[in-house]
Amino acid sequence: MGGTQVWGGEQPLLLPGAQRERTAPTSPRGISPRQDLFLPRSPGRMWPLRLAWALAVLGIAAGTDPTAPPPDKASIFADLTPAELRAVRDFLMGRPELGLSPSRGGSLAQNTLFLVELLPPKKRLALRHLDKGGPAPRRQARAVVFFGGQAEPNITEFAVGPLPRPSSYRPLRFKGRRTVPFAARPMTQLEYELLHRALVQATEPLYRLLRDATGFWYHNCTDRCLTFSDIAPRGLAPGERRSWFMLQRFVEGYFLHPVGLEILIDHRDPDPRRWAVQSVWYNGQYFSSAQELAERYEQGQVAVARLDEHASQLLFSTYVPRGRFTTGTPTDVHGAKVCEPQGRRYRLRGNRLEYGGWSLAFRLRSSSGLQLFDLRFNEERVAYEVSVQEAIAFYGGDTPAAMQTKYIDAGWGMGSVTYELAPGIDCPEVATYLDAHHFYDTDRPVRFARAVCIFELPTGVPLRRHFNSNFQGGYHFYAGLEGHALVLRTTSTVYNYDYIWDFLLYPNGVMEAKVHATGFIHATFYTPQGRRYGSRVQSHVLGNMHTHLVHYKVDLDIAGTGNSFETVDLSFENISNPWSPDARVVQPWLHRRPRRSECQAAFPLGQALPRYLLFSNPRQQNRWGHARSYRIQHSSHAGRVLPRGWREERGISWGRYHLAVTRHHENEAVSSSLYTQNDPWEPLVNFESFIRDDESIEDQDLVAWVTVGFLHIPHAEDVPNTATPGNAVGFFLRPFNFFDEDPSVASLSPVIVRPLDQSFSRLEVQRWTPDTPGPCVAPGPFTYNGTYWPE
């Protein structure tokens, strides 16, 4: 719906012959704007418009049923259903040679099923199905089994299929390795329960110290209990499994309430009776055991840090409002909201999402999070896969827990902690909400309600606009296109931190990947030396400095799988001025550099990144003779977390590079793993090996690996939580001569205003959408003046 309006003075006027003389140009889709001129309408005249509007809304709503079955071609990437998860579990539990037991209860020295999720099809099989009408690849599951009940415990991964009725399984290999060391396994609820018992026993001698200094204790407590945060990696070398535990008051926001006690426990042995306390740190001093600390406290030989009396109503770590804004403007009423006045402008069918020119398949994998497949614009594939690979936070500090903290979040099931999104806060109320089912450290699928949301977002800035001044107080025309993006969102609450993961689709062929960091800072007990490593944020609390890095995989297929990569930057030339030979001209010129091998296409952190990173198909050109290309553009302040090659840095060698471009290989599908957190020294996935063979990347199937991040020095304003403004990083995929013009010209949302006389009293307004958006926007039709006469 839409049309051409004419305004004049206070009363809209009908111009004789206007329909003949003011017919708007036909859009590329062959749709012309509505040709009735703007008149005061009687109720009878309004009825056809209202009826057509209502029918349009019904048509949009009817096409967005989230329960509709997914198209066959998208379903090859869909996450496993609860029935499929149960089928895999039942099949593997029924194999006597595996000897599997339930994961809950029992012992660490048994064989258990830890994780089940989709095993994506091989790319060549998927493309044969997507592009050539070949058969759909058989659907398979990835299953992770902890073999703790054998002489040499290990972790083995299996491919299980075909689904939905599995009948076979086979081991998966990682560049020649079939098994993973048992000590590298992620933590489980069972192991935490056993560690809780070990801490009860370890802290019992410290009851008097803890009660006197903090008012809380760990063993045999009721309402004044301590809890703990555990630190990783769990040791200093491969095969170790010893963790520092930092004790905290168990109150709302306990992450900000360390009490100054940290305990190191060796828990490598599957038998918890062989676990042992190896060291104790309290308020700047080390002790060999809790018993030694208790004895020295009784002898008055310990510097005691006495915490303030706990007052729940004054708790600084809660969201309870306190303080005031001096302006007095209201905050006890709702602020601006997102609405859809005429229904949704996107379509969701199963795991297939469509919006404007965009279409894609998506999934939420339990191991590492959102993964997009078959990303297309106007039916042309831009990327085969765009996915979250890893997120890390490496810390520094004065306490043993702080100096050991190097969190590698896929090792904590980053994709499985996708807790419910709150309508109106995490996503707009009008968003589409989707549940997720995870099989991670469990005996049955677990439903996470509203784990994913999809919504169209007004960006608050026009996609483009222009005011064409006549420089005499008026104008020739005004034109603008409102800015919108479709957002696909989930969150990961990895213990204290919350990551908000977004993929945004813009109508001009741009895709953005973005992550916001929020949640509680990882805080340790304040010591005077701690100021070297952060900021004091409460009387006994230090906010520890850390660097966030996030890694993405971008498997680009720009107009096909045969792509090349080049960088473009500017250089300066000093030439003779052709129209004044005695003078010189210094001007910039485009310095293009083809990157022919993987080593040439790896850009280390700490070095300037070329400003244009272009992926193109050398055999495809746009109308103007340019290679059709897409550009990766970083939004990041990433920096190094450790010196290259240093122990734990080996596990995150992807973090050495802003960008690395490699050839696509099925055995280089991911840059990290579940096991890197607890064995970063000999990682299962060595990203550096992707680059080291230095293969040619000319006219090849290319994968871009993108690192983004920022340094976070916590400060007082991070209490109670780190806020999202300024704490977002990501990257853009932007077309660069991929199209012949901006493809968003196909949108029917622009407004064009042209004056019809020199007094600007009569205007022609062209719109292709209804006159007024609807009741959720300020009432009244669109108005525009545009003059700037002297007063």
| Residues classed as catalytic | 409, 497
Q: Which of 505, 613, 499 has the alpha carbon at shortest distance from 548?
A: 499
DSSP state of 183: G
Cis peptide before 507 (omega within 30 of 0): no
What letters, b where the CB count within 10 A reaches 16 and e where it falls short, cover 415-425?
bbbbbebeeee
HSE value, Cβ hemisphere, 13 Å, CA-based, for 701:
12
What letters, b where the CB count within 10 A reaches 16 and e where it falls short, cover 122-157?
ebeebbbbbeeeeeebebbbbbbbbbbbeeebbbbb
DSSP state of 331: -
Amino acid (1-letter code) at residue 635: S
Q: Is 75 exposed, middle or buried (0-12, 13-18, 19+ CB in 10 A)?
A: middle
HSE value, Cβ hemisphere, 13 Å, CA-based, for 268:
17
Give the Cα separation of 692 and 707 in Å (integer): 18
Q: Which of 780, 704, 781 has the alpha carbon at shortest distance from 386?
A: 704
**What are the φ and ψ backbone dihedral angles of 525, each rounded to 5 degrees?**
-70, 135
- 163, 84 in Cβ contact below 8 A? yes
Cβ-based neighbours of 736, under 8 Å, separated by 6 or more = 612, 614, 629, 630, 631
Q: Is 732 exposed, middle or buried (0-12, 13-18, 19+ CB in 10 A)?
A: middle
Rg of the chain in Å (alpha carbons): 30
Cβ-based neighbours of 767, under 8 Å, separated by 6 or more = 2, 3, 4, 5, 33, 750, 751, 782
Tokens coding 466: 């222009």
Cβ-based neighbours of 323, under 8 Å, separated by 6 or more = none
- 267, 192 in Cβ contact below 8 A? no
As beta bridge partners, residue 362 has 372
DSSP assignment of 229-253: EE-SS-SSSTT--EEEEEEEE-STT
For residue 361, give the H/E element and its range.
strand 358-365
Tokens coding 391: 């997120």
**CA dist 265 → 202, 206, 231, 245, 768 (Å):** 9, 16, 11, 8, 68
Give the Cα separation of 142 and 108 in Å (integer): 22
